[in-house]
Amino acid sequence: AGGGWGDVAVGYVSAGGVWGDVAVGYVLVLVVVGVMLLLVMCWWLG
């Protein structure tokens, strides 16, 4: 995932343990919410 930088990020998250998992979960939630808001906006405007 993303080559060298992906490996670095994964290693960083793994080293972070629980906090790394929390960070990944938080980012995933933000991405999902952002996509949902984008779809709602497109539907609402369309």
Q: Which pair of structure tokens corresponds to residue 19? A: 């906090």
Contacts of 12 (CB under 8 A, 6+ apart): 20
pLDDT at residue 14 in the model: 66
- pTM of the predicted model as reported, rounded to 2 decimal places: 0.51
pLDDT at residue 41 in the model: 96
pLDDT at residue 3 in the model: 62
Q: Which residue has the higher pLDDT, 24 or 32?
A: 32
